[in-house]
């Protein structure tokens, strides 16, 4: 069992964020006799999952639904983690495509409506991209 300080140090996640994750039901702690939190070591893997999932754009509700598929009373097996991550392939592919567009389009017109680059007049005359919906239309894809 690990203290919150040990979990924070090892995971790189602030203690306040760990308490927030616990409040949201994403991780669980037991209470020592002193009332202090004690985390089972496999919590580190769950936290890594949460951090990574947030980076690829999952909301905390979505992360909670994914984590709810894991057994609550023991460390998940490799197979159980595999099943969870296999559901993410499409999401990760979409995120990679977004990042590629971001990388390639940083100096190009992204169809955001600003019309501030000299290329906007050609690529997005009169903000015609805005007819497709809100946001940077050429980034959204």
Residues that bind ligand FES (CB under 6 A): 109-117, 120, 124
Q: Which two tokens stand for residue 94?
A: 């979409």
Nearer to ligand FES (CB atom), residue 81 or residue 138: 138
Buried b (16+ CB within 10 A) or exposed e, 30-51: eeeeeeebbbbeebbebbebbe
Token reading at 129: 């991209």
**What distance in Å separates the CA atoms of residue 37 and residue 27, rounded to the nearest whole number?**
12
Of the pair 86, 116, the CB lying nearest ligand FES is at: 116
Nearest CA-CA partner of 29 in 21, 20, 41, 37:
37
Angle between helices 60-67 and 43-55 (to 10 degrees): 140
- Separation of alpha carbons 95 and 89, rounded Å: 10
Q: How far is the CB of 112 from ligand FES (least distance, A)?
A: 4
Token pair, residue 71, equals 């057994």
């Amino acid at each position: 069992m690990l203290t919150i300080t040990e979990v924070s140090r090892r995971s790189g996640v602030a203690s306040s964020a760990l308490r927030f994750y616990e409040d949201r039901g994403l991780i669980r702690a037991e209470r020592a006799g002193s009332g202090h939190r004690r985390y089972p070591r496999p919590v580190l893997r769950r936290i890594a999952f949460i951090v990574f999932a947030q980076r690829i754009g999952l909301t905390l509700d979505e992360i909670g639904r994914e984590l709810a598929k894991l057994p609550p009373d023991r460390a998940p097996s490799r197979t159980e983690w595999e099943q969870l991550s296999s559901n993410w392939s499409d999401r990760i592919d979409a995120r990679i495509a977004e990042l590629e567009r971001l990388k390639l389009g940083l100096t190009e017109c992204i169809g955001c409506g600003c019309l501030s680059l000299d290329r906007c007049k050609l690529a997005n005359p009169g903000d015609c991209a805005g007819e497709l919906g809100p946001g940077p239309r050429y980034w959204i894809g």
